[in-house]
Amino acid sequence: MDEQLTESLSNSGAAGLPGEAARSPLRLLVVDDEPDLRNIIVRLLKRRNHKVDAAGDGDEAWGKLQGQTYDCIILDLRMSGTGGQELFQRLNSMDPAMAERIIFLTGDMANSSTRSSFDPLANLVLQKPVSIGDLEQAIPAVTGNLQR
């Protein structure tokens, strides 16, 4: 498991970020094929009173996206089966506004093909291992003033 996230999770209170209690919870989808990392992120976001669904791959996420709208999607770029890029392309065709609210995660920024895949995108990209601070800044950055 990612030590930064594990430590942050154990040290974080249920209150979350300053001012977060005043906000309505966001509807989030976490998509990552690494179960430990996915579960840590889900638990952390739930502690901040968000409504969180999880998927282990792009196909499972696509199924969830057929029946639910999400305020933000945290999406691993490289996964077995349907990867993050393919899921992004599908979602962008179906709902471009939701596709803009994707935060990509990758552990492969050293690879030039990975870096070049992000060049045309305006989406946020976070490097694994992701810190909770980065997630806490990224989610409001992509959701803007969304309130439920």
Transcribe 29-89 into DSSP letters: EEE-S-HHHHHHHHHHHHHTT-EEEEESSHHHHHHHHHH---SEEEEESS-SSS-HHHHHH
Give the total number of structural domains in the chain. Answer: 1
| CATH number of the domain bearing residue 91 | 3.40.50.2300
- In this prediction, residue 108 carries a pLDDT of 72
Res. 20 pLDDT band, cuts 50 70 90: very low
**Average per-residue pLDDT in the chain?**
81
Residue 13 lies in a domain: no
Encode burial over 30-47: b for 16+ CB neighbours within 10 A, e otherwise. Answer: bbbbbeebbebbbebbee
Residue 34 lies in a domain: yes
- In this prediction, residue 132 carries a pLDDT of 84
Residue 131 lies in a domain: yes
Residue 14 lies in a domain: no
Residue 18 lies in a domain: no
Residue 47 lies in a domain: yes
User: What domain range is 127 assigned to?
Assistant: 25-141
Q: What is the Cα–Cα distance from 77 to 141, expressed in whole angstroms?
A: 19
Res. 31 pLDDT band, cuts 50 70 90: very high
Residue 105 lies in a domain: yes
Q: Is the pLDDT of residue 87 over 90?
A: yes
> Which whole number is the average pLDDT over 113-117?
51
74 pairs with which residues across the strands?
30, 103
90 vs 120, higher pLDDT: 90
> Which whole number is the average pLDDT over 113-139?
76
- Say if CB 144 and CB 124 are below 8 A apart: no
- In this prediction, residue 125 carries a pLDDT of 87
Res. 46 pLDDT band, cuts 50 70 90: very high
Residue 62 lies in a domain: yes
Q: Say whether pTM exceeds 0.75.
A: yes
